[in-house]
Chain A
Amino acid sequence: MVGIRARGDLLAARLHEAIRANEHVDLPLGSLDITLYRDDLTRVGNAPIVRESVIPFSVDDRVVVLVDDVLFTGRTIRAAMDALVDYGRPRAIRLAVLVDRGHRELPIRADFVGKNVPTAATDDVRVQLVETGGRDEVELVPAAVPA
């Protein structure tokens, strides 16, 4: 199981713990920072902060489940898959997300979805977690309507 930073890694850790408690299976757990693989690096204002990825196991011939908070355009997942294959050749890559809000720009879909949430492309979906100092909540913020 590999969580995408930041937040996907926290959700992956929770899933990892739940699987250990319920199934008594200790899955290898990693976290991935995809900043260096973003396709919009040359379009953002300043260089985004790069954090360390931690993949403390070989991904070769394994089924790797990527975990993220919100699935939107699919570009983050594309970057994560590119990053992951630099570590080896997984047998398969699956995708688990907390929220799928639609509006894909790439041919990507999730294998495991917490909740499908219909949104407008301009809406904002904000995920907060206890680990980041908030409480567990997903907030759908509609785009400001011009008066």
Chain B
Amino acid sequence: MSNIPSDLQYTRSHEWVRGLPNGQVEVGITHHAQEALGDLVFVEVPQLDRRLTAGEPCAVVESVKAASDVYSPVSGRIVASNDDLAQRPELLNQDPYGAGWLIRIELDTSAPRGALLTAAEYAQFLAE
């Protein structure tokens, strides 16, 4: 069974979004995504300060078998990326909602917010 924490929001391309107390958001890939990809061996995160539009490719995660794009769930500016993943890409498999986070984004409040899924909606989407 896929692990889908109820306090996060999700995309149909299998990213999760966590609101942080300072208003920024943290982004990663879901338990379902890492399971489908298999053992992850390389992560390419974007440069800090890059501006992203919701739906734009913002990172690449590579498993032994394939490379996959990660799409930014929101619009905004990248304020942090997870440096630990360079040496330990397996964190994405082991703890996708915690130590395996990818980037933090300062939201662009002028941009329209993308339609994110609740945990229940994402679970429903996976079941379809």
Partners in one complex: no
A residues lining the B interface (CB < 8 Å): none
Q: Could you list which residues of chain B lie within 8 angstroms of chain A, going by C-beta atoms?
A: none
